[in-house]
Amino acid sequence: MRSVGVEEELLLVDACSGAPVAVSASILAAADRHAGRAGGTASDHGFEAELQKEQLEFATEPATEMGRLLEEIRRRRAEAARHAGAVDAVVAALATSPLPAEPSLNAGSRYRWMGEQFGITAQEQLTCGCHVHVSVDSDEEGVAVLDRVRPWLPVLTAMSANSPFWQGQDTEYGSYRSRVWNRWPSAGPVDVFGSADRYHEQVAAMVKTGVLRDEGMIYFDARLSAAYPTVEIRVADVCLDATTPVLIAALARALVETSARAWQDGTPPPRIGTGLLRLASWRAGRSGLDGPLLHPCTMTETSADDAVHALYRHVREALIEHGDDDLVRETLPRLLREGNGARAQRRLFDETKDLAQVVTRCAERTTHS
């Protein structure tokens, strides 16, 4: 069975005001000390700095069972919250800050280079995503998967949408993070590659331009991981409730398995142009689950429910074989009924008329869901 792992980026905010705070270095130092007292090393705690000092990243261990993945996500979130509490901060699984923010780039030559190269794009890039890694047997299989998952990825964006506010305003988007993220020149959907050789040739050519620092800045919607034998699906917002990234991970693994089988059976990838995929990606970011999406098969407008159920039908055989169908059939209708993080944030704002309360209540939900 294919293993799956999740990377989550969390927003660091003041415990009282809800405003983003630049305390990632202090939290990482606390995590280092805790790992040392437990007899481990600094790398054992699994937390890492991100582009901005107002965010923190963690990665789960590879898992084959979704219950174990949920336990680890909850544990990592709780640990991050405990370390943040030492500096009067909390962690919030919000993909953008609802309150106005002036992010501060982390130290180090890489982040300094990015700030100099990309200017305001890097300076304003305070966004938190959720990346899902699914194991593959080879680069050839991985690229075959990349070629076949393309039209389905916007549905995952819509399901995970958790960034309706930006700089104190309602953007009228479900996932405004996806729009901010796509300011990077290497981000977004890509053409069919056809082979691992062509994939690596394209990546090498992009890096050779000098626009990108290295392969780590290949920000495709889905890519081959440079560090692990995985396909990395990168389209999701960080999700408010811990159960949602598990749902996304289960669907992502089934999508990888379904795509790999299609390749093995000789079924060619859908010949959907990248221009259409960009429109589908924009539509998903705009609507979330609260408006129309583009159907992954026809690229015509349909309801969010229809698009999500099309994804479910497409991968159901793999879900059943992985033992994940019951989980998906339980959590997917609840997500469609109750809504994603974007709907939850707007509902909180309608109740409180206070974005600070939206942030602090979402921080509570981050570690109690």
CATH number at residue 59: 3.30.590.20
State the pLDDT at residue 285. 98
Domain with 82, as residue range(s), is 4-366
pLDDT of 39 over the 70 cut: no
Residues 6+ apart with CB under 8 A from 369: 240, 241, 242, 243
Average model confidence (pLDDT) for the chain? Answer: 96
Q: State how many domains the chain has.
A: 1
Rounded to the nearest angstrom, the gap between the alpha carbon of residue 49 and the centroid of all alpha carbons in its chain is 16
Q: What is the pLDDT of residues 136-190, one digit of tens each?
A: 999 999 999 999 999 999 999 999 999 999 999 999 999 999 999 999 999 999 9
pLDDT of 330 over the 60 cut: yes
